[in-house]
């Protein structure tokens, strides 16, 4: 059950657990599966067959390609763009979509760009405006262009949720 603002486009076959909300001017594509209490901000595009764990927070102006996989408690800041095509060309005959995989408790800062096929491991953090061209290991913070490691978390992040996989995470 989704509580939707005015002016939303939500495909009829979207599945969602309780407590989900979608803000104005957002598109939720066909086949998307949303865990409990997920919130998607305004002006966002959630590609087809994307799967979200529980308590995901997606801010405004976010683009997720088809079949993006998001764990539980993932935070995606405003203006974040993810991609799935390493060699974008019009009518590319060898187009092989590589959507991102985002594990539990990952936070992605505003305006970051995630390149195709990237895996962000549990509890890592991506700085605002980072261009992420390599996988980010669990619990690390990366930033810059291209993104590089800033530091490891000295202690588990709030809640410690990234140490154990959470029931209900896809």
One of 36, 128, 138, 163 touching a second copy (CB under 8 A)? 128
- Report d(CA 81, CA 51) in Å as an integer: 17
Q: Least distance (Å) from a second copy to the CB of residue 64?
A: 9
Q: Least distance (Å) from a second copy to the CB of residue 9?
A: 5
Query: Using the rule CB under 8 A, is 137 a contact of a second copy?
Result: no
Query: Using the rule CB under 8 A, is 7 a contact of a second copy?
Result: yes
Q: Least distance (Å) from a second copy to the CB of residue 52?
A: 12
Query: Using the rule CB under 8 A, is 81 a contact of a second copy?
Result: yes
One of 88, 160, 168, 170 touching a second copy (CB under 8 A)? 88
- Report d(CA 61, CA 81) in Å as an integer: 8
Contact indicator for 54, 75 with CB cutoff of 8 Å: no
One of 2, 70, 73, 121 touching a second copy (CB under 8 A)? 73
Residue 161, CB-side half-sphere exposure with 13 Å CA sphere: 20
Could you tell me the strand order of the sheet in which 51-52 lies?
Answer: 15-16, 33-34, 51-52, 69-70, 101-102, 119-120
Contact indicator for 69, 102 with CB cutoff of 8 Å: yes
3-state secondary structure of 27: strand
Query: Using the rule CB under 8 A, is 152 a contact of a second copy?
Result: no
One of 2, 20, 52, 56 touching a second copy (CB under 8 A)? 56
- Report d(CA 4, CA 167) in Å as an integer: 26
**Which residues of the shown chain bind a second copy in the complex (CB under 8 A)?**
5-7, 9, 23-25, 27, 41-43, 45, 55-57, 59-61, 63, 73-75, 77-79, 81-83, 88-94, 105, 107, 109-111, 113, 115, 128-129, 131, 144-145, 157-159
């Amino acid at each position: 059950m989704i509580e939707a603002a005015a002016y939303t486009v939500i495909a009829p076959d979207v599945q969602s657990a309780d407590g989900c909300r979608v803000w104005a001017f957002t598109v939720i594509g066909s086949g998307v599966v949303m865990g409990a209490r997920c919130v998607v901000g305004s002006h966002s595009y959630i590609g087809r067959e994307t799967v979200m764990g529980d308590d995901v927070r997606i801010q405004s102006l976010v683009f997720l390609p088809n079949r993006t996989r998001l764990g539980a408690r993932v935070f995606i800041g405003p203006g974040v763009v993810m991609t799935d095509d390493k060699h974008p060309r019009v009518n590319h005959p060898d187009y092989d979509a590589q959507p991102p995989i985002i594990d539990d408790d990952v936070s992605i800062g505003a305006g970051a760009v995630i390149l195709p096929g990237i895996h962000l491991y549990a509890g890592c953090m991506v700085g605002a405006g980072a261009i992420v061209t390599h996988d980010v290991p669990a619990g690390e913070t990366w930033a810059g262009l291209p993104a590089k490691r800033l530091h490891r978390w000295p202690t588990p992040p709030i809640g410690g949720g990234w140490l154990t996989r959470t029931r209900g995470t896809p």
